[in-house]
Amino acid sequence: MAALKNSEFAFNEELLKLSRISSIDAGDTEISFEFITEAVARALNVGRASIWLLNQDQTAIVCQKLYDASSGKHDAGIELKAKDFPAYFKYLSEERTLHADDAHLDSATYEFSEVYLRPLNIVSLLDAPIRVNGKMVGVVCCEQLMDKRYWSISEQNFAGNIADIVARALQAKERSQALMKLEAMNLQLEQMVKDRTAELEEQRIRSAHASKMAVLGEMAGAIAHEINNPLAIISLCSHQLLKMDEKGKLTSETLKSIMRDISSTTIRIEKIIKGLRFFARDASQDEFSHSKISQIIDDTLSLCQEKFKKHGCEVQLMALTPDLVLKCQPVSISQALLNLLSNAFDAVSEQKEKWIRLECRDSSDYVEIHIIDSGNGIPIEIRDKIMVPFFTTKPIGKGTGLGLAIVRGIIEQHKGEFYFDDSRVNTAFVIRLPK
């Protein structure tokens, strides 16, 4: 009885020590299995202790860690195939503790006698099944050398407790691997989001530039006409100078007058070209700078005012403070305004009364630009769709459906708001930008 108590005390001591091994709950089976097999060999006083796991298709068990008490060394990698030891594997399939006092004669282990037991001087075996989630995945094997061993109930229970600790280590490893896999997937997902965001941003920039070029293409005729008119004036003035000089009628006052006309006309052309170059360039990477709203509007109107005038559409500027300044990308804001002005013109071009009005409102933190036209608003059934990319009510070939979506993108990039104002009788859009 005293010997039994001493054995149970030794078992409890080893189990207590193992409970303090951090590598077990960390899922580090390589280190954990070394501690466990050594603890088994000490507590049971056996020559060899090992941990075996079934392979994926359960056709063999593979030694994960084997401790030889005589040499103090660890080994691994031995494989026992089910087809070579059918009796043993049949017994394992029943998931019971195997205690073979004489392993050479036991019905479950006799198949090992010549190929495994005798070469290693193994006489008795004690195997405890390892279960994970209720399913057996392997065994803890205790091998008595030289002399026959009668395995007590307390020894069998100890082996079962060790098998539970092995199962705990395996589950910790599964959790660790799952966590690592999840972290890898999160990193991959984050990278995919970054790549997709960059791709979408690139597409947005390309779409914005394409829309910008489409608007310029629509206005190319009007811009050419806007430039041709002053060029004709310069040509006429030059012709007048030559004729008057030939006839000797060119006076100092006449020369000054004609030169003033040429100078003002040249400035007019320069302004148009400046507005065109300003608008056409790629400004997606521009820094935000302080710009006058009046200058942005003036540059924008230089590209479309002649077209509107030619078609009898009046442009009205209301409440425009000359020195009102906004921190922005001026080219992008100009594009937003030109898209809205072009949309407004297309909407009213067939009406009898044609006008477009720009209103600027200044508050302490925001600037609002209202673009209103003589149209009767937007039908309720399509108001939720007008900002959706590629949605358009224009005939095929007359629009891309990107105008309002690009305007919204530009304004949101400026931390502002862009919306349809349904409180007005006429069609009205509002750009609200922080100063």
Return the pLDDT at 403: 63
Return the pLDDT at 83: 92
Q: Are 270 and 230 in contact (CB under 8 A)?
A: no
Any domain includes 128: yes
Q: Which helix (H) or strand (E) holds 318?
A: strand 314-318
Any domain includes 126: yes
CATH of residue 82 = 3.30.450.40
Any domain includes 276: no
Top-confidence residue, 199 or 390: 199
pLDDT above 50 for 123: yes
How many domains does the structure of the chain reveal? 2
Q: Which domain holds residue 54?
A: 2-180
β-sheet bridge partners, residue 356:
315, 373
**Do residue 24 and residue 150 come from a single domain?**
yes
Runs of H (alpha helix) within 45-149: 86-93, 118-120
Tokens encoding 338: 């030109």
pLDDT in tens, 86-121: 999 888 877 778 999 999 999 999 999 998 999 999
pLDDT above 90 for 35: yes
Tokens encoding 429: 């859009």
pLDDT in tens, 59-78: 999 999 999 999 999 999 88
pLDDT above 60 for 219: no
pLDDT over 70 for what percent of the chain? 83
Mean pLDDT over 250-256 rounds to 79
Among 180, 210, 241, which residue terminates a domain?
Answer: 180
Mean pLDDT over 172-183 rounds to 87
Among 152, 180, 208, which residue terminates a domain?
Answer: 180
pLDDT in tens, 312-366: 999 998 877 778 888 888 888 888 888 899 888 988 888 889 999 999 988 878 8
Any domain includes 215: no
Q: What is the pTM of this model?
A: 0.49
Among 147, 180, 213, which residue terminates a domain?
Answer: 180
C-alpha to C-alpha distance for 358 and 410, rounded to whole angstroms: 19
Show Cβ contacts of residue 37 under 8 Å, excluding neighbours closer than 6 positions: 49, 50, 51, 65, 66, 67, 74
Instruction: pLDDT band for 390, please (50, 70, 90 cuts).
Output: very low
